[in-house]
Amino acid sequence: MPEKRDSPLRWMETAQTDIQWKSRFVLSNPTVYLTKVKLLLLLWVAFANHTPCHSFRTTVVPRAAEWSSCSSSALWTQSILPTTASNTSTSTRLALTTDSPKAPTQERAVRFYFDIAVADEPLGRLTFCVPRPDTVFPTHVQNILQLVTQARRSIDPRCSYVGCEFLWTLPFVEGRAQYRWAHVLAGKGRNAVGPATERLGNPDASQRPAHPLYGGMYYGLAYDELIPGYGENAVLLTVPLTGPGRGSTTLSMVRVAESPLEWRERLLLNSAVLGWLEPSSGDVFRYMAQQTKGPPKVTASGVLP
pLDDT bucket at 100, cuts 50 / 70 / 90: very low
The residue-averaged pLDDT of 292-299 equals 93
- Closest alpha carbon to 251 in 296, 304, 203: 296
Q: What pLDDT was estimated at residue 117?
A: 96
Q: What pLDDT was estimated at residue 22?
A: 53
**C-alpha to C-alpha distance for 12 and 288, rounded to whole angstroms:** 102
Query: Which option is the CATH number for 110-304: 3.10.20.30, 3.50.50.60, 3.10.129.10, 2.40.100.10?
Result: 2.40.100.10
Tell me the percentage of the chain whose pLDDT exceeds 70. Answer: 63
Question: Is the pLDDT at 99 greater than 90, yes or no?
Answer: no
Question: Is the pLDDT at 87 greater than 90, yes or no?
Answer: no
The residue-averaged pLDDT of 246-256 equals 93
C-beta separation of 94 from 105 below 8 A:
no
Q: What pLDDT was estimated at residue 170?
A: 83
**C-alpha to C-alpha distance for 232 and 52, rounded to whole angstroms:** 55
84: left (phi over 0), alpha (psi -120 to 50) or beta: beta
- Closest alpha carbon to 281 in 110, 115, 170, 155: 115
Q: What pLDDT was estimated at residue 183?
A: 93
SS3 state of residue 284: helix
E strand map for the chain: 57-59, 76-81, 91-96, 110-118, 121-130, 182-185, 210-213, 216-220, 236-240, 251-254, 271-277, 297-304
Question: Is the pLDDT at 231 greater than 90, yes or no?
Answer: no
pLDDT bucket at 262, cuts 50 / 70 / 90: confident
More confident residue, 181 or 177: 181
The residue-averaged pLDDT of 263-269 equals 89
Specify which of 19-23, 28-32, 250-254 reaches the highest per-range mean pLDDT: 250-254
Question: Is the pLDDT at 227 greater than 70, yes or no?
Answer: no
Question: Is the pLDDT at 80 greater than 50, yes or no?
Answer: no
What are the pLDDT digits (tens) for 121-178?
Answer: 999 999 999 999 999 999 999 999 999 999 988 888 899 999 999 998 888 888 888 8
More confident residue, 253 or 30: 253
Least confidently predicted of 37-46, 76-85, 159-168: 76-85
- Please report, for the chain, the start and end positions of each structural domain, with discontinuous segments joined by +: 17-96, 110-304
